[in-house]
């Protein structure tokens, strides 16, 4: 099972999906586009502790993390 983790005021919301299920994959891709369209940053883990920002949906990623746009404090 793959997972999209969206940071929010509750900590995070997790969306699990089966990457072998075409419908679930399409839904995950729609979610990716919606969130990045709203200004969320998407990141994946490429190695132990190493992270990479992604700008297009990666269907092979086990975990994709989304966090809102950065602002100055």
Query: For residue 42, which of 24, 69, 12 has the smallest C-alpha distance?
Result: 69
Give the range of 19-27, 28-36, 42-50 binding another protein by CB under 8 A.
Answer: 42-50
CA distance 23 to 32: 14
The one among 1, 22, 23, 72 contacting another protein by CB under 8 A: 72
Give the range of 16-24, 25-33, 47-55 binding another protein by CB under 8 A.
Answer: 47-55
CA pseudo-torsion sign 7, 1, 20, 23 = negative
Query: Which residue ranges make up the site for another protein (CB under 8 A)?
Result: 5, 7-12, 39, 41, 43, 45, 48-53, 65, 67-73
């Amino acid at each position: 099972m793959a997972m999209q983790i969206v940071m929010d005021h509750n900590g995070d919301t997790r969306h699990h999906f089966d990457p072998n299920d075409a419908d679930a994959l399409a839904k995950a891709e729609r979610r990716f586009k919606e969130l990045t369209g709203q200004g969320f940053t998407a990141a994946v883990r490429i190695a132990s502790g190493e992270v990479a920002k992604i700008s297009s949906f990666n269907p092979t990623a086990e975990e994709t993390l989304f966090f809102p746009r950065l602002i100055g404090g």
